[in-house]
Amino acid sequence: MTFKNGFLWGGATAANQYEGAWNIGGKGASISDHCTCGSQSSPKRITPVLEKGTLYPSWEATDFYHHFKEDIALAKEMGFHVFRMSINWSRIYPTGLETVPNEEGLKFYDNVFHELSKAGIEPLVTISHYEIPYALVEKYNGWYSREVINCYIRYCKTIFARYQDNVKYWLTFNEINSGTLPLGAVLSLGTVKGYCGPIADVPDEKQIRYQGLHHQFVASAKAVKIAHDKYPHFKIGNMSIFAAKYPSTCNPDDVLLCQKRMRDMNWFCSDIQVRGYYPCYAKRFFDENNIQIVKDSGDDKILRDGKVDFYTFSYYMSACESADPAIVEQAGGNIIGGIRNPYLKSSDWGWQIDPKGLRYSLNEIYDRYQIPLMVVENGLGAFDRLEEDGSIHDTYRIDYLRQHIRQMAEAVKDGVDLMGYTPWGWIDVVSASTGEMAKRYGFVYVNKYDDGTGDLDRLKKDSFFWYKNVIESNGENL
């Protein structure tokens, strides 16, 4: 048997794209409730009043809020061991500034955890998944302000105390390194009031981003320390996007550029969260980009005292790096930077599919950190066709996941300590990057469309039965 006994098979979701009920039960507006109508190609500014765009709005999402019992029953039927979800910060502290939490919000997650426990499924909880109370964006420009660290810690203390008997596995921030990328920085950092596009055209954007990230590193480390001191049974991890990068030729210029891009995007944040200090290459990067991180005197110690217990990541694609501007021009870009790889195929959204890159990434990460790893997102966003009889034949998704699981198995044979696997959007949710419902990842189809029609009915796709069998056989029957 390749995968160890107790390997955590399951699926991943996040409140901002799944839960809906954005203004029910005392919940406040979060940043993601304000910027769901953009798309990758034409991001929009945040509208002051929430209004319906042409795309299906994520503030209804696929309504986990009212369907959690049914959804957890489906997860149980597939044999899930673990259920990745996030808590909506603005459901617990509607503006992030209250001193007393919203009891109705806390009660909702009591009910969810109770249901998971009855089903014998372990929750894996992301504390902040592209979500921050919007009032903190208005008041402080999100994570750019140090004040937000205290708000986050107050929220962590509340949920740690309340759910200490229900939740063992925690992640401090979803895809923290998306803060280094133009796209994604606004959702994860909550900075730049009134704006939801890439922040590349905002003055001082690098300074804003890296100062904001510093505050997130401190907040993450403080949360880890509290967990270690007060709740020794907790396991608390980081979460990064990992997109393998390859030099496009063996020209040393390409190799060096590739090494730099691997550091800038893939390693920078996790080096700090896993090792507890800024990496050696940070100084030159900051100097060359005119970034001055303002630190408090105790920050370095806080980082050292708050190293994560395990490393988790999302894996969707890889990219190539070329130092030759003519080649970059000709080859066409990639969503996570770099250029297209001619050896790989792409999804309908241009994400390049690279299962072997997952084996490569797992080996590189494990070599570097030597702590347990978990793939907490992976999957194929695709257009699914609902047949008249209610079936959905998503063989392309099965094929994608099968190839990635095979490569995870190779990595385990290479010696990597892999804890588990939770494919993204195991039930259809709203897309983070485009706000669409049409981009689906699930084993379960949700009858809901971009124009807002659909009755939210849940239907099993072919991949549902396939994945059930994968779990049952601990990854042997692919």
What amino acid occupies position 117? S
Listing DSSP states for 144-161 in one string gives: GSTHHHHHHHHHHHHHHH
Q: Which of 175, 321, 410, 436 is catalytic?
A: 175
Instruction: Decide whether 286 or 396 has the Cβ nearer to ligand BGP.
Output: 396
175 is catalytic: yes
Cβ closer to ligand BGP: 14 or 29? 14
Closest approach of Cβ 35 to ligand BGP, in Å? 13
346 vs 394, 395, 431, CA distance in Å? 17, 16, 17
Q: Which of 122, 377, 410, 436 is catalytic?
A: 377
Hunting for tokens 């990057």 — which residue is that? 433
C-alpha to C-alpha distance for 396 and 405, rounded to whole angstroms: 14
394: number of Cβ within 10 Å: 24
* CB of 383 or CB of 465, closer to ligand BGP: 383
Say which DSSP state 8 is in: E
Query: Minimum distance between the CB of residue 326 and ligand BGP, rounded to whole angstroms?
Result: 31
Applying CB under 6 A, the residues found at the interface with ligand BGP are 14, 17, 130, 174-175, 314, 377, 381, 424, 431-434, 439
Query: Buried (b) or exposed (e) across 160-175, using 16+ Cβ within 10 A?
Result: bebbeebbbbbbbbbb
Nearer CB in complex with ligand BGP: 433/474: 433
CB of 175 to ligand BGP, least distance (A): 5
Q: What pairs with residue 238 in β-bridges?
A: 311
Taking Cα atoms as reference points, which of 184, 185, 175 lies closest to residue 143?
Answer: 185
Query: One-letter amino acid identity for 328?
Result: V
Q: Is 377 a catalytic residue?
A: yes
- Residue 54: CB minimum distance to ligand BGP, A: 17
Q: CB 313 → ligand BGP: shortest distance, Å?
A: 10
Q: Alpha-carbon distance 142 to 112, whole Å?
A: 28
In whole angstroms, the minimum distance from the beta carbon of 126 to ligand BGP comes to: 9
Q: Which is nearer to ligand BGP, 115 or 131 (CB)?
A: 131
Amino acid type, 456: L
In whole angstroms, give the CA distance from residue 68 to residue 118: 13
In order of 5, 220, 378, 440, the CA distances from 385 in angstroms are: 36, 41, 21, 10
| Token code pair at residue 390 | 């209610």
Tokens of 315: 């894996």
Q: How far apart are CA 219 and CA 223, in angstroms?
A: 6
Of residues 319 and 412, the one with the C-beta less far from ligand BGP: 319
Any idea which residues carry the catalytic annotation?
175, 377
